[in-house]
Each structure stands twice: as C-alpha cells, then as structure tokens.
Amino acid sequence: METDMEIMMNELVPRLIDEGEYERAVEFLNKGLAIDPDNSVGWFDLSYALSQLDRDEEALKACDTSLKLNPTCIDVWEERGYILYNLGRYAEALESLDTALALPNNPEDKSVVNGIIQLREEWQAELSSGKKGA
C-alpha cells in the first residue's frame, strides 16, 4: 500500500502538472522533497514546474540535483537543455542535449531521442542564422 507521500508524489503532483497547476505542484514537491530529498523524479518534476513558472534559475538547480541523483536520465538532460536555452546559455543548452544523446538508451526512448535530435538541429539553425546569440 502506498504511503500518503507516495500518493502525493506519484499521483497528485503529476495531475497538478498536467492541469497546469504549477504553483501548487511546486508547493507539494517542496513538501515531499523535504521528506525524501533523494527522490530524483521529484527533483525533475520540480525543475519542470519551476521552469513553467519562468523561475529558470531555481529550475536549473532542481534539475542539477536530479542529475546528481540519476545522471543517466535522458529526460532530465533534455529538460536541462530547455532551461539553459531559456536562460540564453545556448552553448550549455546544446551540451546538455549532446549529453542526453550520448547516454545509452532503451528502445522505448527512441521517440525521445528523435525529438532531442530534431530540437538540437532547430536550435543549431537558430544560432547559426544569428536569431539567437551564441
């Protein structure tokens, strides 16, 4: 049987994020991570919710904490790329995507990998065209 915290982190928080209730998700994630600071998925969810609130510096810290706990999660490296891109740190954003692509991946990661490849190409094109500063 799941504990109250597991229900909060595994059911409530994803539902809040899906519904765009990012402030509430951040509130519950902070409570959950205070109890279970080694929850890499919780840190990833927190990074995503904070990024959606345009709190990208905080989001980057949460993302980096998730990566310290689980450095081989392709989704977290992709999210880190988005956050860095939003912060105007384009070279670091591309490096994060490159790291994601260099990770060993499962067959079920194929669509994620293809999405990262496409995203990287788009960002590289924007940078090369001068639409974004390097």
Grade residue 53 by pLDDT with cuts at 50, 70 and 90.
very high
How far apart CA 15 and CA 30 sit, in angstroms, is: 16
Domains and CATH numbers, the chain: 1-70 (1.25.40.10), 72-134 (no CATH)
Band of residue 133 on the pLDDT scale cut at 50, 70, 90:
low
Short-list 74, 102, 80, CA closest to 93:
80
Which residues lie below 8 Å from residue 47, measured CB to CB, with a gap of 6+?
59, 60, 62, 63, 66, 76, 79, 80, 83
Whole-number percent of the chain with pLDDT over 70 = 96
What is the model's pTM? 0.89
Q: What are phi and psi of 73, to 5 degrees?
A: -90, 110
How large a percentage of the chain has pLDDT more than 90? 75
Instruction: Record the tokens describing residue 118, joined without a space.
Output: 């496409």
Cβ neighbours, 10 Å, residue 97: 23
Place 83 in a pLDDT band, splitting at 50, 70 and 90.
very high
Q: DSSP string of 50-81?
A: HHHTT-HHHHHHHHHHHHHH-TT-HHHHHHHH
